[in-house]
Amino acid sequence: MNCVSLKEGLGASSFRLTRTIAMGLAVTFLFAGVATAQTADESAPKAGEKAVEKSGSGPVATPLDATHDFGKIWTGEDLKHTFQIKNTGSEVLKITKVKPACGCTKKGKHPDEIAPGQTGEFSFGLNTKKLHGNFTKAITVSTNDPAHESLTLKLVGEVQHFVEVTPSAATFGRLKPDSVSTKTLKVLNNTGENLDIKLASDASEGCFKAELSEVVPGKEYELTVTAQPPYNSGNNRHMIKLLTNHPQQKEIQVTCLALVPQRLELRPDNLRVALGAKTQSKRRLRFTNNGDDPVNLLSVTSSADSEQLLTEVKTYQEGRSYEITVTIPANYAPPKDGVSIVLNTDDKETPKLEVPIVATEQRSRTPRRPATEMLGQAAPTGKFKTVAGDEVNIGGTSDEVDVLFFYASWCGFCKKALPEVEELHKQLQASGKKAKIYAINLDDRTGRRGRTEEQTLQHYKDMKLSMPLILDSEKKAGRPFKVTSFPTMFVVGQTGTVEAVHVGAKAGFEKELAKEIDDLLAGKKLTDAGHVANANVASRTKVGSKGMANLEVKQSKVVGSKGRDDVRPVTIKSNEVQPGTPEKKDAPEAESGKDE
């Protein structure tokens, strides 16, 4: 029994030991895996650092020198540097934007595309005249690399001035009208050689007096600036000039600034009221006594409309500081003769102060739709290819009516409208009418809403569409047609004129499209008929344009996404496609404002 028990005990112990070792090894491997994963994440290229060259599928942007240090340089030097970005991927790397962070950095030549395995050069120039001390200038490079859509390149260094003034300006802040204040600035010669430094003849002017004294001959000076009455109310500003005999820094400018508020100060100096505001609003005034003697606020009234304009006074410090709240009723319109808020004080010099109420036009909340400006214009012309390989001419005269349906695959309203447009396309095909519908996709390839070409084509297949599809991620058609929201539809007549514009897809829009097509094929001109959907003619407007004779064009209604009819004059602009025109927005917004 004892032997058996001993063996059993040893067997159980061995089992426990084996299990303990196995668990320990598992934990060790687990942590090793985590450490490996963390190391892999940390090794990913970061903005502003030299990237580790990595290969992969698709385009891969790898900056070979993400940061360049110029070291110590003298002010005024024009610096130049060329960064290199290598495409270590398997597809073409597209450079969509190169943007320096400030105006002192100028971009030079750079490639628009970098083939797999190739390196592109990005040259930049830097003006150092206005730089002081250590500097870092960032440059953003946007690409179609899904992992690094935005790369940051950096130019760093330290700018030394031959003659340096510390601090660089004499700033006095807020001063009382009768006060005197002095600031002392150090002027240091950094060249190692003696320099002659002196004040310009107009160094002292107005309320500022300047004196320059030599501390170490030819090496170090002190500039003493005194601000003294009389001052102007508000900002007092002056530029002191120091003259040197250094050929590369002959003049140094030192700014002097002092704010001297009025003795009795009212802020703001007027109250703005929106005409036709449908809700009550409040405006606040701050009355401050900056003088030595106390000034009490006795009462606050209005020069007119005293029953409509209600005022309330809050005292922060008796004789010194007060806040006045003016309540403006809904739909308030100031009288033609004007109205002011009147403050009555016990001050002998200024017993009464007035703040006028200024009426302003209420801002329109109607969204701006630039695409509607195309109505009545010659459609921009251009040649495009469908995904099936067919060549399409947009704009210009033809024997057919074209409907251009601009959309994005992420747009919810587009998803609802596409089946209706597809059905209309099939009806036109079956009827043999000389009219075509083109779906023009404006998906971006990068950014938050970016879609790859494969994703866009998959969306087209999922929607079971057969109408001709044009991919326009570069906005070569979308930009000239001023498309900024989705969906947007244009009906282009046989003369090449934009006869109708639909922004959004209200209920029954496909029936309006069908009627517009039929009217145009019957020889009618929608702008002459006065409708984008049976809209009457408002008036005639003469419109001028560069290189064109004055044309008489009618005003027509433009159908909006919510069924509104906006009557607007038609303008004539260039009908030539400009692929290089910079885009104001990276991606147009959907009418719904949400993704699908």
- pLDDT at position 221, please? 96
Tell me if 61-160 shares its fold with 370-590.
no
| Other residues' Cβ atoms within 10 Å of the Cβ of residue 187 | 23
Give how far the C-alpha of residue 409 lies from the chain's centroid of Cα atoms, to the nearest Å.
24
Residue 502 to residue 482: CA distance in whole angstroms: 13
Look at the pTM and tell me if it is higher than 0.85.
no
Q: Which residues of 351-373 are buried (b: 16+ CB within 10 A; e: fewer)?
A: eebebebeeeeeeeeeeebebbb
- pLDDT at position 383, please? 92
Residue 423 DSSP class: H
* Backbone φ and ψ of 425, nearest 5°: -60, -45
Residue 261 to residue 271: CA distance in whole angstroms: 19
* Backbone φ and ψ of 331, nearest 5°: 60, 30
Q: Which class would CATH give 370-590?
A: alpha beta
Measured torsion, CA atoms of residues 70, 73, 79, 84, in degrees rounded to the nearest 10 = 0
Query: Cα Rg for the chain, rounded, in angstroms?
Result: 36
Residues of the chain with pLDDT under 70: 1-56, 305-306, 362-367, 527-596
Mean model confidence pLDDT for the chain: 80
Residue 11 to residue 3: CA distance in whole angstroms: 12
- pLDDT at position 592, please? 40
- pLDDT at position 333, please? 86
pLDDT tens-place string over residues 138-169: 999 999 998 888 899 999 999 988 999 999 89
- pLDDT at position 185, please? 96
> Which CATH code, of 3.30.300.30, 2.60.40.10, 2.60.120.10, 3.30.950.10, is assigned to 264-360?
2.60.40.10
| Other residues' Cβ atoms within 10 Å of the Cβ of residue 554 | 17
> Which CATH code, of 2.60.40.10, 1.10.274.10, 3.20.20.220, 2.30.30.90, is assigned to 163-260?
2.60.40.10
pLDDT tens-place string over residues 390-432: 999 999 999 999 999 999 999 999 999 999 999 999 999 999 9
Is residue 315 within 8 A of residue 289, CB to CB? The reply is: no
- pLDDT at position 25, please? 44
Start-to-end CA distance of the chain, whole Å, equals: 76
Give the residue ranges of DSSP H helices in 466-540: 509-521, 526-529
Residue 150 to residue 61: CA distance in whole angstroms: 10
Give how far the C-alpha of residue 245 lies from the chain's centroid of Cα atoms, to the nearest Å.
45
Is residue 258 within 8 A of residue 173, CB to CB? The reply is: yes
Is residue 594 within 8 A of residue 412, CB to CB? The reply is: yes
- pLDDT at position 55, please? 64
- pLDDT at position 506, please? 87
- pLDDT at position 327, please? 92
Beta bridge partners of 183: 225
**Beta-carbon contacts of residue 255 (< 8 Å; ≥ 6 apart):** 168, 169, 170, 171, 237, 238, 239, 240
Residue 576 DSSP class: B
Give the residue ranges of DSSP H helices in 488-549: 509-521, 526-529
Question: For residue 565, is it left (φ>0), alpha (ψ between -120 and 50) or beta?
Answer: beta
- pLDDT at position 1, please? 40
Structure tokens at 363: 């801002």
Q: Which CATH architecture has domain 61-160?
A: Sandwich (2.60)
Q: Give domain limits for the chain.
A: 61-160, 163-260, 264-360, 370-590
Instruction: Convert 48-90 into a string of H (helix), E (strand) and C (coil).
Output: CCCCCCCCCCCCCEEECCCEEEEEEEECCCEEEEEEEEEECCC
- pLDDT at position 424, please? 96
